Structure 1
Amino acid sequence: MLFQKCHSAPPYKCFAEYAGTTDGETGTKKSSGKYKHLPLLSVIEAARAGVADAMEQILQHHDAYINKLCLRTMVDENGQPHKQVDPYIKGRLQSKLMQAFTKK
């Protein structure tokens, strides 16, 4: 149905309409719920150039996903299992993300 609605417009215009943005800004996947705003293209470009503030925004955007990847089950002295974030693995993943962004 989307193609029929705006078949005469360029594909990026159709996508912008579908995504709920028409001004070239990045939007959200979902207006409510657990989805967050995507980083702006200018922030991504600045992070690729090595700007520390932009890289921090990128890391904050990916923080929940990185935390999910770093969950480990720890057993306390009573034998009860608990899930917690492994800080070593989290640091490694953040480092790899920063390296991937600044790679030329």
Structure 2
Amino acid sequence: MPAGSNKKRERQYEHIKDNAKQYGSSEGRAEEIAARTVNKERARSGESKQASKVSTRDPKSAPQRGGERSHSGPQGPTKDQLYEEAKKKHVDGRSQMNKEQLRRALGR
């Protein structure tokens, strides 16, 4: 648990950690996810001594974003991500393909 936290943040940390473990993360990874999330929330609400610009200026908090940046939302992975996957799978003609063509070539 991050130092200097209150009871609410401790409960939030445990809840996030438990959920991460439930979804298959290792103990260490679950702790990291929980600590980063709680620290960001603390920075956004002014509870921490230091805060990065990203933490304080992000338009939505992590729970409000709800995975918007996970690349599994409505639009899925970016064209660059699809291209890199196609490159690893040695898909011919990938440099001439658009996003939809890459998606089809990869079987998505």
Q: Please confirm whether the aligned pair reaches a TM-score higher than 0.5, indicating the same fold.
A: no
The structure where strand makes up a greater share of residues is 1
TM-score (norm 2): 0.27
